[in-house]
């Protein structure tokens, strides 16, 4: 198995998990290393979550199609 599709799949999975965190937690409750963390805000970063989800799904799709081609 090639390294790039595997790394893309792992990064995609992490981004999908991060999207769930963005949807579930307000900005003040996010971990401090996550973009969008602000201890004074109580709103959710839905746009960050949507962007993270879309990029994550694209990376997972890339991994899916590349792994199917290399298996043949």
State pLDDT tens for residues 13-65.
Answer: 999 999 999 999 988 888 888 888 888 888 888 899 999 999 999 999 999 99
pLDDT value for 1 = 60
pLDDT value for 23 = 92
User: What predicted TM-score, i.e. pTM, was given to this entire model?
Assistant: 0.84
Query: For the CA atoms of 10, 16, 20, 26, what is the dihedral angle to 10 degrees?
Result: 90
Phi and psi at residue 42, in whole multiples of 5°? -115, 5
Of residues 13 and 71, more confidence is placed in: 13
pLDDT value for 15 = 96
Q: How many residues does the chain have?
A: 72
């Amino acid at each position: 198995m090639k390294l790039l599709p595997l790394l893309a799949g792992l990064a995609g999975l992490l981004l999908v998990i991060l999207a769930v965190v963005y949807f579930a937690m307000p900005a003040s409750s996010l971990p401090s290393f996550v973009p969008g963390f602000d201890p004074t805000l109580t709103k959710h970063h839905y746009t960050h979550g949507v962007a993270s989800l879309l990029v994550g799904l694209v990376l997972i799709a890339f991994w899916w199609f590349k792994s199917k081609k290399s298996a043949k």
